[in-house]
Structure 1
Amino acid sequence: MLSPAQYGITSDYANELAQRSETSDDLLRIAVVGNNTTQPIVTATRCALLSEGMLAHIYEAPFDTYRQEILSPNSDLYTFKPDIVVIAVDFSELDIHLDIPMSRQATENALEAMADHWRKLWEALELHLGKPVLQHRCEIPEEEFLGIAERRTRWSPPRFAESLNDRLASIAPNFVKWIDVDRLAARVGRQNWHDMRLYYHGKFGFSPRFLPEYTVLLAAALRGTLGRTMKALILDLDNTLWGGVIGDDGLDGIQLGPDTPQGEAYQSFCRYIKALGRRGVILGICSKNEFSIATEVFDKHPHMPLKLNDFAVVYCNWKDKAANLVEISRELNIDISTLVFVDDNPAECELIRQLLPEIFTIKADGDPAFFVRNLDHLHLFDSQVYSDEDIKRSESYQSKAKSKDLQAKAPDLDSYLQSLGMKAKIKFAEPSELVRLSQMEMKTNQFNLATRRLSDVELGGMIQSEDNVVLSVHLSDCFTEHGLVSYVAFAIANNKIIITDWLMSCRVFSRTLENLIFNYVVRLAVKRKIKIIETTFIPTSKNKVMENMFEKLGFICIGKAPEGPWQYEVRPGIKPLPCFISDFYIE
């Protein structure tokens, strides 16, 4: 991790690169507004993006002008046309706005007044910009006043700030994402977080010595907003999940469990890993070991909380780990840049960093007592919300191992697909599905027609619009319920269906689901007597899987391949494309 002084140098370097990279695909426009000195936020933004291989032009609003910048439609903020707005507003003077002591109703009125203030700001941002917003959560004041009594009094600044955080989170539109600086302040110590000398002399919202920690937190929020969230945690075994080498020390000789301090620490780390898996993080093993010996730990060790079926992929062999990690990304059908790899061996870590720099590699060295903290504080798997599909994701990937066994026993591909017993539900998307649809927009890179990264506001507008149709697609099979795995959006104009967006989770590729969805679109065209279905493919470095799809579906390219435009003629009596999924349509 860089020192705070090195962050300034790195930020200047990133800014210089951005000035020379006007045509770069990864060049963002980010605005930073706040009520304190925002230069540290600008520095953190440049460094966070550079760590993700991205650059930005940044607009820094004048000191404490965030209200004017947001409310005025002609402000420099809107002239700049940012892709993302960072709002760094703290509530250090919260007590000034509270006429304490207050009655219960007066406290509620004060809360609602502040909530209404932010509603108006968010409405202005939605109206004039319609882009994602990353906003600081309210920091709990460090003053204790009357001690524990403050926690029991609704109008006290600490209680009021907590209530305000809850209120704002509950009413914020979906395009507002939160940067939990309050949690960070609590972790490093609130008295440490605020350097009051720097606050009074230079209006610094937090001490610059915590710039590295803040940058990590901001990077996580940016990854989530830009669709770069990590998806899978791949782990070594020896001296990573337990102490010692299973092949040499045997089941009774490794350190795992409450008998030793180190063993208890490794057990806690395994519990943390299991908890990540239950929250939708894909788990995998990549270890140089004999499979039968290594897997004994999961089957027979009394203090191992993880079981082998907690892992979606298990690569225990003597191949080089770089090759195994490439195979793991292929088997999981996810981009290799979404893998996090943990290993205790510095040589292995260096090999992965050199051969596969896109993988986030963590060296698990030192005292295992800090393994959980070190991984957790990197915020690699941070998410703004949970959806049902998050919980189902891990089960879905684990079911792939079972389906592989089924495929091995099937005489051919068609028999295998038939044996999965797949069922799909295609329906008109509803506002209640916006959370999941937005997640797909941010995370889906491969099966993504246009990669437009539509905001929640734009998706919601499409669902409500009479000029657009948005279909959500749910899938299940004999092993698991996959949930909402695809959506397609199209406009109907001039006797044409024009497909603008089509996304599908990589978990369900190659199952003929795309055929089923397209059959439905054709069925809808026939019903409405529409003669042409049209689309345009926008290629990126990650959606090559879609390059030949429209030709396979029966489209004809009337432009330049692979972009198109592509057209499909809807003819009477047209036969549906073959698929192995029983469907249930809601029209």
Structure 2
Amino acid sequence: MEDIVVAHLQNQTVSPQGLLGRDPLTLSAGDVRRFARELTQASGEPHVRIAFGGNVTFDPLPEYVLVHLACAGLVPVFHAIEFGQVTQTLLDPHSQLHCFKPDLIFLHWELEHGIAGHEQRRAFVDSVCATVATALASTDATILLSNFFDHGDDGAGLADWRGEPDPQELFAELNRNIAKQFRFEPRVQLVDIARLTAQFGRSRARDLRLYLLARIPWHESFMPLLADELTRHIKVALGRVRKCLVVDLDNTLWAGVLGEDGPRGVRVGKGDATSEAHYRLQQKLLVIKQRGILLAACSKNNPEDVAELFRIRTDMPLRAEDFVCMRIGWDSKDQGLQHIAAELNIGTDSLVFLDDNPAEIELIRRALPEVECVLLPQDSALSVSCLDRIHSLDRALITHEDWDKSAHYRQGSAREAARRQFVELPEYLRSLETTIELQPLSRDLVARAHQLFMKTNQFNATGRRYGLGELQRCVDDASRIAVMVHAKDRFGDLGWIAAAILSRSQEPCAHLDNLVISCRALGRGLEVALLNSLKLICFELYPLEYLTAEYRPSKKNSPVSEVFPRAGFVLITPGDADIRRYQLSRDRSLYAPCDWIRVRARNLRALQGTAYSPSQWEDGPLSFSSNLGLE
């Protein structure tokens, strides 16, 4: 398989035939081949580099993945590792794979090929795990590892189940061992082939003739489903996810119209198929919320009626408090969605909108094309499977911040209510009693750091995104200074809300590669306290002579535009340049007043490693020994 490069086309879309936004599962095999040929002939910079490796022939799967990604607006380039040579290729630092520098590696092995007996298969799976460990150690790539599925051969026929273990039990054991091995490794994502083939039909997914002729393990009719699953994983790995699911109410959360049927007349619960379908939909929404997706509601209804329904319909899985925001009234829904985004301090491009009304869906698509719109099927029994198809709500790893996200945003509403009681902003900021704690990036925080760099748009100084592999290297790289920031105030714990990565050179200088702060923590001067702390790290802990930084303007990161000048940095490029470069010298570095935030440090001496010496860097409140003092 040759490398395939597909270009950006107009407006950074890959859609000469209108592919962007299309459902790739509706395309025929002929359509996929035709689109793949046309896309391959283009040229340009890819979004993602993907390698394939294992003991099978992957063609024509890359063509399907190419088209599926094009429908999602993504541009891939592919590389095939030689058949059966994954470990050898990984161990060779000069191999084509290492020159290719993949962002993701999809690994798939078939147990059937030349491997007989239970113990031999267990040993083979152990070797697969060792190969994955080698891939993690020798590349920065995220590994998409497929599990194994029983092809359903009769074996001992009706007596199969009497075996010890029987075939299904053995495959379950092998897959369980793989999952256990990599459960806490953020750079491994398990591609559940066993589940996919069970859904599709194991005998239908397999093409034994092609496997025997060319080691192609899957029937072409199975390729769209597998490509769809890989696309889910790829989009999540690239941070192409959304933050908030906004749902309609009437004939969406329940069957019926609240204004006509009343709170006890709408149907959701047990007793009939329609009511139970809506009950299951609400249960699914709770599961989605547990991934860290915010739930909001936007409906044309009387607010009092909706409040009464949630008060008396305790038989519903969803409660009013499960929603971080409700926009109930008679304004148009595009206005409602904009109000929700503004209240949550996120962009409208972070929203998914779910409605049963095709007219409302079309209105949003025209008024707010950046919102992902999902039309519920007319058959309410299909609603849950419809939610499963929303890839932008997927998460490969759920952090503590995800579990607590709804609570964080509810605390934000309480803060806003408190804000209205103050005339002067400084008084309000002091009333928050904010404390931030700085800590070196550690392996257990890599997943959260990855989320921050991949998902933060408003306060993102350079727009640079870091892969999990690169962040893991930052933990042990003496040339990098990587800091995570935790925040809390009198309303509660905000979690890990900021991250900064600096690079050190041979010169007595550090460069701020990127600085990000979560949108829910903006508006309280955290950037001032954080830059004060970075000055302390650079000019007191090491000490260095210069700190440089960049601001790369985008459509969304205007909150960063004046941060560096206000912190005393000097602009060293023209103000109208696409990239604004700044410099701060040790002798001109001053503390920027920020007395409403208490700053503490934990284990910051680890940033300096064996070269650490200053005694003032004990855990606890930060303090400078010179003119940069913090309380």
Normalised by the length of structure 1, the TM-score is 0.88
1:9 aligns with 31
Distance 1:162 1:310 in 2: 36
The equivalences for 1:172-211 within 5 A come to 172=182, 174-200=186-212, 203-211=215-223
2:146 is the counterpart of 1:136 = yes
Out of 537, 546, 556, the position equivalent to 1:532 is 546
1:466 aligns with 478
Out of 136, 143, 163, the position equivalent to 2:173 is 163
TM-aligned CA distance change 1:352 to 1:40, over 3 Å = farther
The one-letter code sitting in structure 2 at the alignment partner of 1:569 is: S
The alpha-carbon deviation at position 27 of structure 1 amounts to 4.2
Conserved in 2, the CA contact under 8 Å of 1:14 and 1:50?
A: no
Distance 1:151 1:554 in 2: 74
Structure 1 unaligned spans of 5+? 101-106
Distance 1:550 1:579 in 2: 19
1:103 aligns with none
The alpha-carbon deviation at position 581 of structure 1 amounts to 2.6
Out of 98, 102, 111, the position equivalent to 2:122 is 111
The alpha-carbon deviation at position 309 of structure 1 amounts to 1.6
CA RMSD of aligned residues (A): 3.0
Distance 2:34 2:463 in 1: 30
The one-letter code sitting in structure 2 at the alignment partner of 1:97 is: I
Distance 1:134 1:357 in 2: 31
Q: SS of 2:369's equivalent? A: coil
2:569 is the counterpart of 1:575 = no
The alpha-carbon deviation at position 364 of structure 1 amounts to 1.2
The alpha-carbon deviation at position 139 of structure 1 amounts to 2.6
Distance 1:416 1:346 in 2: 45
The one-letter code sitting in structure 2 at the alignment partner of 1:248 is: E
Conserved in 1, the CA contact under 8 Å of 2:292 and 2:402?
A: yes
Moved more, 196-205 or 30-39: 196-205
TM-aligned CA distance change 1:153 to 1:554, over 3 Å = farther
Moved more, 342-351 or 520-529: 520-529
The equivalences for 1:387-536 within 5 A come to 387-493=399-505, 494-528=507-541, 529-536=543-550
The alpha-carbon deviation at position 328 of structure 1 amounts to 2.3
2:612 aligns with none
TM-aligned CA distance change 1:8 to 1:407, over 3 Å = farther
Conserved in 2, the CA contact under 8 Å of 1:422 and 1:478?
A: yes
Q: SS of 2:420's equivalent? A: helix
The alpha-carbon deviation at position 184 of structure 1 amounts to 1.6
Distance 2:452 2:365 in 1: 28
1:559 aligns with 573
TM-aligned CA distance change 1:436 to 1:54, over 3 Å = same
Conserved in 2, the CA contact under 8 Å of 1:38 and 1:63?
A: no
The alpha-carbon deviation at position 226 of structure 1 amounts to 0.8
Conserved in 2, the CA contact under 8 Å of 1:131 and 1:175?
A: yes
Q: SS of 1:342's equivalent? A: strand
2:56 aligns with 36
The alpha-carbon deviation at position 411 of structure 1 amounts to 2.5
Output one character per residue of 1:507-557: Cα deviation in whole Å (capped at 9) or x when no partner. Answer: 212221111111111223342443422112344454343233222322111
Aligned length: 575
Conserved in 2, the CA contact under 8 Å of 1:70 and 1:121?
A: no
Which of structures 1 and 2 has the larger relative contact order (alpha carbons within 8 angstroms, sep 6+)?
Answer: 1
The alpha-carbon deviation at position 124 of structure 1 amounts to 5.0
Conserved in 2, the CA contact under 8 Å of 1:14 and 1:55?
A: no
Output one character per residue of 1:213-255: Cα deviation in whole Å (capped at 9) or x when no partner. Answer: 3333222111111111222111000000011111121112211
The alpha-carbon deviation at position 460 of structure 1 amounts to 2.1
Q: SS of 2:429's equivalent? A: helix
Out of 268, 274, 281, the position equivalent to 2:280 is 268
Distance 2:489 2:151 in 1: 51
Moved more, 298-307 or 118-127: 118-127
Conserved in 1, the CA contact under 8 Å of 2:90 and 2:134?
A: no
TM-aligned CA distance change 1:272 to 1:146, over 3 Å = farther
The one-letter code sitting in structure 2 at the alignment partner of 1:158 is: Q
The alpha-carbon deviation at position 312 of structure 1 amounts to 1.2
The alpha-carbon deviation at position 408 of structure 1 amounts to 2.4
The one-letter code sitting in structure 1 at the alignment partner of 2:579 is: E
TM-aligned CA distance change 1:272 to 1:134, over 3 Å = same
The one-letter code sitting in structure 1 at the alignment partner of 2:560 is: M
Output one character per residue of 1:151-195: Cα deviation in whole Å (capped at 9) or x when no partner. Answer: 897755434433333433444454333322222222233233324
The equivalences for 1:192-231 within 5 A come to 192-200=204-212, 203-231=215-243
The equivalences for 1:222-261 within 5 A come to 222-261=234-273
Distance 1:488 1:180 in 2: 35
2:115 is the counterpart of 1:97 = yes
The one-letter code sitting in structure 2 at the alignment partner of 1:530 is: L
The one-letter code sitting in structure 2 at the alignment partner of 1:291 is: P
Conserved in 1, the CA contact under 8 Å of 2:486 and 2:496?
A: yes
Moved more, 238-247 or 573-582: 573-582
Normalised by the length of structure 2, the TM-score is 0.82
The alpha-carbon deviation at position 258 of structure 1 amounts to 1.7
Q: SS of 2:551's equivalent? A: coil
Structure 2 unaligned spans of 5+? 1-22, 605-631
